[in-house]
Amino acid sequence: MVRKNKSLQRKTTSSQRSSQPKFNLNAKNTKLLLYLIVAGILLFFSYSFFTSTGESISAKLSDAFTKTKNLLFFNVENDTSNQGISSNTLTLDKIEQGYPKIDATGEIETYSGFHLSYNEQHEQANWVAYILTKEMVKNDKAERNDNFRPDENIQTGSATLADYRGTGYDRGHLAPAADMHWSAESMDESFLMSNMSPQEQEFNRGIWKMLEEKVRDFAVENERIYVVTGPILKDITKKIGKNSVSVPKYYYKVILDISTPSFKGIAFLMENKESSKSLASFAMSIDELEKFSGIDFFQGVKDSAIEKIEDDFDIKAWSLN
C-alpha cells in the first residue's frame, strides 16, 4: 500500500512538472533581449561620457569605452577594486598622518604639495611624502619651470646647484615635478634643492622615471594614494660638491592605496644605476622594505589594519604588466 502511494505521488509530481510553462528563446524574445542589452550599454556610455568633466573628448571616449567593455564582458580579471585590506577606521587624509619614523634626525618642512625631512649630514631629504589623487594627475594646468634653487627654509642651509655642477649626477627629484602639475606653487616648490638627490643619469632618466610614471597610473586607477620616497642614507662611500652631498646607493618608493573601502600597499627598492629590468622585479611588501631600510613607515597611523597592509603583498593588485 505504501509503494502504491509513492508511485502515485511520483506520477502526480511528474504531471505537475510537465504542465508548467517553458520559456522558449524564440526570435521575438532574442530580439527583445538584445534591445535591452544595447539600451543598457548606451545609457552607461552616455553617463560615463557626460559625467567625466575636465577631460578632453578623446579621454572621455576612451574612459567610457573601457568602462562599457568591462561591463559588457564582465572583465573581472582586471578588476582590483575588491583587493586589499578592509578597514572602517583607517584615515589618512593629511600628509603629516603618514610620516615615517627614522633614526636619523631631520628638519621637517611642509610645502603645498609635499612634506620632507631634511638631513643636514647628507644634504638631502631623509624622505618626502605627499598625497596624490586622480584629479591631481589629470589637472595639468602648471607647466614645468626648472626653477632649481637652494631651499632658504632649511635652517642649516640646503645643497646648492654648484654641488652638482660638473659631477655627472642628475639633480634627481624625490617628489617628482610631474606629480605637481596640478598647482603652479607646488610645481615651483618641487625644484627646491632640498627635494633633490644625486642620481646616476641613466637611472634618473630611465627606470626611475618609469616608476614615477607608474605611480601616477596608480593614482588614477586607485583614485587616491599616499606616496613616500627617499634615498637609503647608509653605507655612503661617495660625496659631491662643496657641501658634501651624499650619493645614495639605493632609492625607495612606498605607495599606499588610501581609497575606501579597502586598502593595499606596495614598495619598490632600486639601486642607483641603469637597469633594463621590469618594475615588478623591484616590487616588495612595505614590511620587507622596512627591514632593509630600518624605516618604520606609517607608524603614526592609528589603525591596527596598517600592520597587515604592510605585510600583505599581492602584486596582481597593481597594474605592473
> What is the spatial distance between Cα 167 and Cα 222, in angstroms, rounded to a whole number?
39
Residue 127 and residue 115 in contact, taking contact as beta carbons nearer than 8 Å: no
Q: Going by C-beta distance under 8 Å and a sequence separation of 6 or more, which residues neighbour residue 81? A: 262
Burial class (CB in 10 A: 0-12, 13-18, 19+), 204: buried
DSSP codes joined into one string, 224-243:
EEEEEEEE--SS---EETTT
The span from the CA of 274 to the CA of 284, in Å, is: 20
CA distance 199 to 294: 22
Q: Which three cell numbers stand for residue 141?
A: 594646468
Find cell 647608509 and name the residue.
234
Length of the chain: 321
User: Residue 42: helix, strand or coil by DSSP?
Assistant: helix
The answer to whether 279 and 320 have CB atoms below 8 angstroms apart is yes
Q: 46 vs 41, 56, 66, 312, CA distance in Å? A: 9, 15, 13, 38
Helix (H, G, I), strand (E, B) or coil at 271: strand
Residues annotated as catalytic are 173
Distance CA 5, CA 14 (A): 14
C-beta separation of 202 from 219 below 8 A: no
Nearest-angstrom CA–CA distance, 40 and 37: 5
